[in-house]
Structure formats: structure tokens, C-alpha cells
Amino acid sequence: MNWLGIFLLSILRPALGLIILAGLLIYWVLNKKLPKERCLRIVFFIFSGIIIIRSLVLTFLNYWLWSQQPITDRLLPPHSPISYIIRYSWQHYWFEPIMTVLLAFIVFWGIYLFNKKFQDNLFYDEEKYLAALGILTVGWPNCLFYLCLVLFLGVINHSILCLFNLIRGANNSLRKVSRRPNGHGSSEQSERENEAERQAVISSLGKSTASFRVNYLRLSLLYFWLPCALLILFLSDIINKYIGITQLII
């Protein structure tokens, strides 16, 4: 029963993360909006607290189990230095949760401060919570792969939007010029009109690019945080086996 308790505690973080992310995604699809920021904040801090409490419980439970066995009891004080059980607990119960929670808070505040620097034009307010919850769910070191995947998809998405916007702006400008009726007058006047038309196209393209900068400056990754976290969670065994990211685990 004791070992069953340790097993259940060991899968608590990914199981709870799966419930939270899947619940948020279902809520988003059904209601066409995310929960309020206050709700996301509460979930984030509760999830972080549960991860730390889990490490505490596992540490004390491991100590108690060792004390019940004659062989493992020799590894505890006063038979062995207390530094041994501290190193063991840090490696097995504390390193991964501390790195996960620490990186979640770094990404959370990084998105918040970076967004404030650009007058809230880069990210939506909910994104810092979604990113942090995704990190807490997939854990260390898979969260590094998770962040790289989200950024990669975001760059591709934004590049496609840039290309479509520029093409659309160019087509609109050329269409406006082609609709202009032909004038009647001297050849000199026609040359001046043609030059004015060329300048109008260039100016229109410039305005289109400027409009893009205003309207599409928001480098939102809103639609990638939840799906990517769930994908990494389900593929965690494959990632750990073939990508070698487990080298970051002590």
C-alpha cells in the first residue's frame, strides 16, 4: 500500500496537468473563450503549490519507508550522514519539481514584462498563464522542448500571416490602379500621370506594410500553448527515448 501511494504521488503532476489542460481546452471550445484571468491565476498557483507539497510528501514518505527496513535504515542518521538522504531526496524528489516551477515563473514573468514593454501588443493576457500551466504539466526537461515547439510554430504562423498580408496589399494596390480610367491629353501629361500612378502604387504598398505592423504586431502564441502541452505530455516517453533530452536530468 505504501509503494502504491508513492506511485500515485509520482503520477499526480502529469495526471492533474492533463485534467487541467484538457478542461481548459474543452471550456475554450464550448464557450468560444478562455476562463477569466483571475481563474487562471488561481489554478496556476494551486498547481504550483501541489507540486511542491507532493515533493514534501514523497520525501517524508521515503524517509519513513526506509526507516521500516533494516537494510535501508542503515542509510539514515545516525548510521549514515544526513547529507546522503538530502542528496537522494534532492535528486529524486526535488530537482525536477524545482526546475519546473522555477521555469514556469520565469516564463510567466518574462511574457508579462515583455508584453508591458510593447504596450500589451505582443501577447494576450491569458497567455502567460497558459504557458506556465503547460510547463508545469510537461515538467522538466520536456518543458524545454515544449517551449521550442511553441516558438517554432509561432514563427511559422506569423511568417505566413506576413506573406499573405503583403500579397493582399500589393494586389489591392494594383487593382485600384488598373481601375483608373485612361485620360486624354498630351504625351507629357500622360507621362506625369503614369509617374503619379507608379508613386501611388509604391505609397500604397508602404501603407500596407505599415498597416501590417500596426495590426499584426501581436505575436500571439495563444492557440499553441494548450495543444502543444498535451502533445508533449502524450509523447513524453518517445521524446525521452529518442531525443536524449533526459541528459538534463541529474
Given a contact cutoff of 8 angstroms between Cβ atoms, the answer to whether 27 and 116 are in contact is: no
What does the radius of gyration of the chain's CA atoms come to, in whole angstroms? 28
Given a contact cutoff of 8 angstroms between Cβ atoms, the answer to whether 229 and 21 are in contact is: yes
DSSP class of residue 90 equals: I
pLDDT at 215: 45
Residue 117 burial (10 A CB sphere; 0-12, 13-18, 19+): exposed
Mean pLDDT, residues 234-241 taken together: 78
pLDDT at 99 over 80: yes
Summarize pLDDT for 216-230 with one digit per residue, the tens: 456 678 889 999 999
CA distance 180 to 90: 75
At 125, list the grid cell.
493576457
Average pLDDT across the chain, whole number = 79
Given a contact cutoff of 8 angstroms between Cβ atoms, the answer to whether 177 and 197 are in contact is: yes
CA distance 87 to 83: 6
pLDDT at 22 over 60: yes
Given a contact cutoff of 8 angstroms between Cβ atoms, the answer to whether 224 and 153 are in contact is: yes
Q: Output phi, psi for 100, to 5 deg.
A: -65, -50
pLDDT at 158: 83
CA distance 55 to 97: 7
